[in-house]
């Protein structure tokens, strides 16, 4: 497993080692000791989630406020997505910046999205299966989002607005400037 810091160093791209032959392949999808050794801290994952979507579905940009903020480790089992993490930590040198990575069932790459980031993905193929680990349970009262098309973020979603399939919730999210986000208090990011 190879861990790579992205343009926003707290967002980590993970490239697996794939062992393959005529029978198929084998790869480790998660190894806690190597993951935590690279990060330098523990991430107590407590739940795995999975979604299946068709091309054009855009889910996000979502996050939860403290004390239910979540780190996520995301990957695609089948199909492909454009995966996006947006830094919403006020005071961060990369506040309002984003990382966009193509995750596919073939490349088997994963993205670690830490607390303090909004996360979303655009499905690029029909029948895409997306899975992710989280380190905090879903808390609907602390669930928040940011408009996927916020001009300040300038995310290139690769499809036009008319090609996107969005939930009603994702159609009405606020711009980053109007959203509840995280700020630094005592060395930690909190809302």
Q: What is the 8-class DSSP label of residue 169?
A: H
> Given 63, 98, 119, 132, which residue is catalytic?
132
Which is the catalytic residue, given 62, 78, 95, 97? 62
- Decide: residue 94, CB within 10 A, 0-12 exposed, 13-18 middle, 19+ buried: middle
Backbone angles phi, psi at 38, to 5 degrees: -65, -45
Q: How many CA atoms lie within 13 A of 154 on its CB side?
A: 3
| HEC secondary structure over 44-109 | CCCEEEEEEECCCEEEEEEEECCCCCCCEEEEEEECEEEEEEEECEECCCCCCCEEEEEEECCCCC
Residue 119 designated active-site: no
Instruction: Determine the Cα–Cα distance for residues 64 and 70; give it in Å rounded to an integer.
Output: 6
Q: How far apart are the first and last CA of the chain?
A: 33
Tokens 């999210």 found at = 173
Does residue 132 carry a catalytic annotation?
yes
The sign of the CA dihedral 34, 39, 43, 47 is negative
State the catalytic residues: 62, 132
């Amino acid at each position: 497993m190879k861990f790579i810091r992205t343009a926003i160093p707290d967002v980590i791209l993970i490239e697996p080692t794939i062992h393959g032959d005529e029978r198929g392949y084998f790869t480790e999808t998660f190894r806690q000791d190597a993951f935590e050794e690279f990060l330098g801290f523990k991430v107590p994952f407590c739940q795995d989630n999975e979604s299946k979507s068709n091309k054009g579905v855009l889910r996000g940009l979502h996050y939860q406020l403290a004390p239910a903020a979540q780190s996520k480790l995301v990957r695609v089992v089948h199909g492909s997505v454009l995966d996006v993490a947006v830094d919403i930590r006020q005071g961060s040198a990369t506040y309002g910046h984003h990382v966009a990575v193509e995750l596919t069932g073939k490349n088997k790459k994963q993205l670690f999205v830490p607390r303090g980031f909004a996360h979303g993905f655009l499905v690029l193929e029909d029948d895409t299966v997306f899975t992710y680990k989280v380190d905090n349970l879903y808390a609907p009262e602390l669930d928040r989002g940011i408009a996927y098309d916020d001009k300040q973020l300038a995310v290139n979603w690769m499809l036009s607005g008319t090609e996107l399939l969005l939930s009603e919730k994702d159609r009405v999210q606020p711009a980053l400037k109007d959203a509840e986000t995280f700020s630094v208090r005592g060395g930690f990011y909190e809302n």
